[in-house]
Structure 1
Amino acid sequence: MRTFRLVTLTLMIPFVAIAADSDRSPQRVEPWTPAGVSSDLFESHAAFDPRNGDLYFVRSSKSFSGWRILVSHREGKRWSPPVPPPFAGPGLEADPWFTPDGNRLYYISSRATAGMKSKDLDIWQVDRGPDGHWGIPSRLPAPVNSNEAEWFPRLAPDGWLYFGSNRPGGFGKNDIWRARQGPSGRWTVENAGAGLNTAGDEYEALPSPDGSRLILNADGAFYESMWTGTAWSPRVKLGPDINVNGTEIGAVFSPSGKSLLFARDAGEPKSGEFFVWRRGGTEDWPP
């Protein structure tokens, strides 16, 4: 999550050939504006609950401020009026993402910690029990969170948690970092490398479901990088159909990895809307 214009692994598998075939297939971007979710405000950063299909997303003002997480569930062919999730707290909250089993959700929040008001957005997690009830959210410790802002936490299949941050020690402004929790519970953090990061702004990194590629949001555009077995390859800009006006943000893969749902500022009177990019084929997704 960031403000527009103030831009705040697995083993190698034969995905390269699959990607090449997809690039030669028809590609199209279509609006996804389901009744009950789409509004004249800004909707972005979708996350589908693996357990029950509920849609968690961020709704903001038309100017993309005041971020709040909402949840809606399917009612026949409609989505229910969205409401805050049970774990919602005061302040800004955004960028929800589920683990594949649906037992944990990562997000960012400016809520207070231990009685102290947060001065920026940090990464939080909340776990869910077998009964379906959410527990008490907890802020991830240092060095995952820092004295600067963190964005868009996304867990890769190999266990690395990718996120954006403008902490010191990177290649430029905001960089992509990754963190891993060891057997003792301690976290280690490292920069995600020169294949992804530059002297500019990189703030959202989305690993694919199989871990073979990564969609990067940087300086107002989507890029793609491939996992070489040791590092991420130099990023390549996607488009032109997906990168249209520099406001694209908050991507999420379909479970198959063949489609990508993201948000774009569609302009007045609607402002931010969801769009789905079908990279070859006609996958019936989102639901």
Structure 2
Amino acid sequence: MVSKFLFFLAFVLLAHIVPGQTIYPDNQIPSNTPKLFGKGVLSDGLSNRDFTISPAGDEIFFTLQQPRFLNSTILRMQKANGKWGKPQVAPFSGKYKDLEAFFTSDGKSIYFSSNRPVSGTTPKKDFDIWKISRLPNGHWGTPMHLDTIVNTDKDEFYPSVAKNGDLYFTVEAAYGKGKEDIVMCSPVKGGYSKPVSLPEAVNSPNYEFNPFIDPDEQFIMFTSFGRKDDLGGGDLYISHKDKGGNWLPAKHLPAPVNSAGIDYCPFVTRDKKYLIFTSNRANAEFSDGKTKTYQQLKNILASPGNGSDDIYWVKFDCNW
């Protein structure tokens, strides 16, 4: 039987965002070859990255960034009366640099990274992890800065939360194993336990970042840059747990999931049918050997695949 979430994803593809325009023009769900997710809406030639969707399937959050990280804003799409609206600035974003929203499994809270000030109005020089919860009226409340056990004077990025509240994120830590590490801390009374760097099965002397934790903590997907099997600017990897609860050596996801560009910001749907991720892989038209007119060049450069970040999805393979 087709799951409710699969029906939802099919609806995302078919639903009209504006008259005459669908999120995915060819109305096909992906196979083993990545396809643009929300072409013309979530992937539109601008730099759109990271992705999370509410458990109810009625809210999508993703990030719109400007070149050279001049700005970074979390956008939201909402479904009302069976139809998806256009992307809008999230109610808790727009003033500071915000990115990488992540829904908790119950849909009641969102974690995200931001340089917003803890006090005053001057943005921080580093990025911290914040949490915002839904109010009884359904609106989002006021963002809460996580305690100093989690947040330091270094950048904390890409929060991902398991069902039991274990928090995974990226940090450049003195206790780490490489240039950037994936770390985990558990909820305790009054806050969190001290973050612990994941073992060498996950972390290496290179860069590991953007962890997505399976809600049941049976696998973790992340990006690493600098490994020998890296195809480009950073590739996706996955590590599973064995029966004893130990992380197994991470596997490199095959092409065409990984590419010569940077492939990062993984998100696996709750039914584990699809992987949604960000990539700056280039459109094949750039290297097809054909002479192009000025207008053709403008059209390619204004479309997804122009070298900016786009959001893709692909069939999730449990054997990765």
TM-score, reference length from structure 2: 0.74
Question: Any conservation in 1 of the 2:105–2:215 contact (CA below 8 Å)?
Answer: no
Once the two structures are TM-superposed, the CA of residue 180 in structure 1 deviates from its matched residue by 1.1
Alignment RMSD (CA, Å): 2.2
Match of 1:59 among 25, 47, 64: 64
Alpha-carbon distance change, 39 to 64 in structure 1, aligned in 2, over 3 angstroms: farther
What are the Cα deviations for residues 148-170 of structure 1, in whole angstroms up to 9, with x where unaligned? 00110001234310000012111
Match of 1:262 in 2: 277
Q: Deviations over 1:173-211 (max 9, x none)?
A: 000001112134453211112111111001111112332
Residue equivalent to 1:153: 159
Of all paired residues, the percent bearing the same amino acid is: 25
For the residue of structure 2 that corresponds to 1:73, the secondary structure is: strand
Q: Which amino acid aligns with 1:87?
A: F
- Relative to 1, partners in 2 of residues 1:58 and 1:81: Cα closer, same or farther, differing over 3 Å? same
Please give the alpha-carbon distance, in whole angstroms, between the structure 1 residues aligned to 2:194 and 2:168.
12
Instruction: Tell me what 1:5 maps to.
Output: none
Which is bigger in relative contact order (C-alpha 8 A, separation at least 6)? 1
Q: Counterpart in 2 of 1:162? A: 168
> Match for 1:43 among 36, 42, 48?
48
CA distance in 2, matches of 1:278, 1:85: 28
More helix per residue: 2
> Who is 1:232 aligned against?
247
Whether 1:253 aligns to 2:258 is: no
2:309 corresponds in structure 1 to 272
Cα distance between partner residues in 2 of 1:280 and 1:195: 20
Indicate yes or no: 2:145 matched with 1:139.
yes
**1:21-43 deviations in Å (ceiling 9; x for gaps):** xxxxx733222234433322011
Task: Name the CA shift for 1:186/1:177 in 2 (closer, same or farther; >3 Å).
Answer: closer
Unaligned runs of 5+ in 2: 1-30, 226-233, 283-300
Matched residues in 2 for 1:276 and 1:44: separation?
12
> Deviation string for 1:210-235 (max 9, x for gaps)?
32111111110000101123331111
Tell me which moved more, 54-63 or 29-38. 29-38
Q: Mark the runs of 5 or more structure 1 residues left unpaired by the alignment.
A: 1-25, 282-287
Which residue type is aligned with residue 61 of structure 2?
A: Y
Q: For the residues of structure 1 that align with 2:311 and 2:54, how far apart are their CA atoms? A: 17
Q: Compared with structure 1, are the counterparts of its residues 266 and 251 closer, same or farther at alpha carbon in structure 2 (3 Å cutoff)?
A: same
Distance 2:96 2:152 in 1: 18
Contact 1:41/1:62, CA 8 A, preserved across alignment: no
The C-alpha deviation readout for 1:234-256, integer Å capped at 9, x for no partner, is: 11101112101231121111111
Aligned match for 1:222, one of 213, 221, 236: 236
Higher-Rg member (1/2): 2
Q: Which residue of 2 aligns with 1:176?
A: 182
Q: Size of the alignment, in residue pairs?
A: 256
Decide which of 181, 188, 194 is 1:188's aligned counterpart. Answer: 194
